[in-house]
Structure 1
Amino acid sequence: MKIITFDLGGTLMEYAGMPASWTDYYKQGFEAINSYYNCKVSEDYIKQSVEILKSFNPRLHYREEEFSPNYIFSKALEHWGKNIPIRDCVYQFYTGLKLKAEIYLDTIPSLIKLKNNGYLITTLTDLPTAMPDELFKRDISILLPYFDLYVSSLSCGFRKPNCRGLQMIAEYFNVPITELVFVGDEDKDRETAIHADCQFIQINRKNRTSETIFNLTELIEKLID
């Protein structure tokens, strides 16, 4: 059984124009909640919410344990003192960010070729801070039919470099974790593979190096051609 696991952001897709850390956009998201529900909270209250959300951002404050979007936003909005539905606030926040997902041009052709050559395709992705799975899945809906199993930090409960997600994939298909091939773009992806003792292939779509692949065409050449 040949199983390949992909990271998503920076590997198969990206949110156009968004940096690695989205903290500069948090204010915009909370302002969208404030406007939609006509909360009329002060600028200071919004700034407090931004700081609370920043405290959950793993790029600023390292953590491996994942928290639900409802839990994070209930903390970020508690001081507003408004009786507004937290789940809907999460959606308004991300609507306010005006995200646009872009699937890399080589992604779907490469996934098709892998499947045609007998590979099972799985994912292990860290969700943006407090983003629900259903929102992220909506943004990558065109890719979902190609996945035999989708695992995120939210569905497995841990963020990379914790390898619990890879363990779940191995358990699901009843194979040793060491047989997985993990493809990702960040050092934390490499560390995850090291913890799992499985093969890792690093993709770097910005700079061609001798230690990485530049695109998925090179991945196909490495695994199939």
Structure 2
Amino acid sequence: MTKLKKIALVTGVSRGSGLGFAMTKDLANLGYKVIITSRKEENSASLARQLKDLQLDVEAKVLDVTNRDQIQSLVDWIAAHFGKLDLLINNAAILDIQYTGIDKTDLDFVQQEINTNFIGAWAMIKYCTPLLKQSERGIILNISSGMGAFHDKDMGLLNFDKATIPNYSLSKLIMNGLTVKAAKDLKDDGILVNAACPGFTATYEAFVAMGARPIEESLPGLTWAATLPDGDKSGQFFRDKELLPW
């Protein structure tokens, strides 16, 4: 009997220079069928074609993680075609580092950032859980940041040395809390939930000039956290295969 491929879903894959694309390529090379999503069909579809040209099993779908009707439609499609989901990577996020004081912040933008970075991730977990329960070993990986931890020595909230803590940090702080809640809530279902920080990575040209490291240095830790050779880790926060302080 032929064993079914593992099915992975990666949100927020819209740029060839992004971590989502790099993780997708890695997972597909490991034998996963990877479903990638972005808000604009042409972005994820173009990236999927590039990987299909390399004989990798990748499919693109449109998804805005703040649109629950779209999430449900995607989940229904996965259920109809595969009957399960083995890996969910919550990668979609608004990355906007603005050093704006608390009394000058645009709260409408904060709401938009929280809706995508936190509520969107929660919605993906909620709607995908029935499919993850059908996996032999369901895994959820939230792509987070040390900026959302209190004690990270480089960028944590208590050690942040810029003018003010960005809203992005707070969106990742609550995402890290969501990771712990989901890990506890889904423990009895055998679903592992963890968060991983890629470190300061050169996903944009501007980051290169600021000293960001190449994607090739960040990727192994993310792929490791997504595939977890040790099956008992859940509710943890990693960078480069090492535990990060919260």
- The answer, yes or no, to whether TM exceeds 0.5 is no
Give the TM-score range, shorter chain.
Answer: 0.3 to 0.5
TM normalised by structure 2 equals: 0.39
Which structure has the greater CA radius of gyration?
Answer: 1
TM normalised by structure 1 equals: 0.42
Higher normalized contact order (CA 8 Å, seq sep 6+, divided by chain length): 1
